[in-house]
Structure 1
Amino acid sequence: MTKGNWAMCSPAEWLWESAPMRWRRTYAGRADQVTAARVFAASLFAGTGREDDVALVVAELASNAVLHTRSGEPGRGWFGLEVTLADVAYIGVTDLGGRCVPIFQTDRPGCELREGGRGLLTVSKLSIACGMHGSAHFGHTVWADMALQSGGHQVAAVEVAPAM
């Protein structure tokens, strides 16, 4: 079956087509929308055993976007959530940039996103890989790859230097 030629396939072929399933949503840059994003993402993982981990990762990434970037500016801030389901699930939160650069290490000097200081470290422990790309000027996407089995362990944390 070729991509897009759904007229000649069964419902099962359409439902279980091999391409990863992907969702993108935008949310207003408010705390109540962090909750909405968390609930939405967790619902996509229903039955995988990773629902709570996904909810925590999305809550942390979205909260950071609202609290520490221009995404939290009243009336015009927003953040984006992207979720891809495949053998390894991808979760990415895109912000509008500004102020600080997200970091996964709590001992690195410089601009640190610290209230509790452990949020991105927790994300890195729940994921098999995580990182960020982007810049304070154009915005960041902070992402995590998660295994769909419970208890996925971190294999690698990747931090990409922001573009100037």
Structure 2
Amino acid sequence: MLTRTTDKASNKWDSLLPLPKPYVVPGGRFREVYYWDSYFTMLGLAESDHWDKISDMVDNFAYEIDTFGHIPNGNRSYYLSRSQPPFFSLMVELLATHDSDALKKYRPQMEKEYAYWMDGVDALQPGQANKRVVKLDDGAILNRYWDDRDTPRPGVLA
């Protein structure tokens, strides 16, 4: 299992965002954790009874919600303008099968993530979209992927 830690006093030119706890990365070439990939990693960790690692990873994602207002695509500065599919509540639900306090503990962050994805919904008219929400002609609400930056992604320029 490949785990990483980050140093809060990292190089000022480093795009890696520090996280408070160790985390599992998807492969040897990565120093960063990716949001939705981590849910599937957690499923494997649960089968292997590594609840301490799951707890650390959920703590890290809660930290990102508290710090950035959402969970970025990954813990890199160039991912701060976008997210991946919202899996945080599923991560908390998984942890709650082992830790009965998890739902209560992480409720504030689940609500913050929901607010991030639903931001602007109240002002939408049918057929309109705003950031991550779309209101269909029949009034149904959908979410979509949205990047707050309208420039090329820095990660692809590196």
Shared fold, TM over 0.5: no
TM-score normalised per structure 1:
0.28
Structure whose residues are more often helix by fraction: 2
Structure whose residues are more often strand by fraction: 1
The higher relative CO (CA closer than 8 Å, separation ≥ 6) is in 1
TM-score normalised per structure 2:
0.29
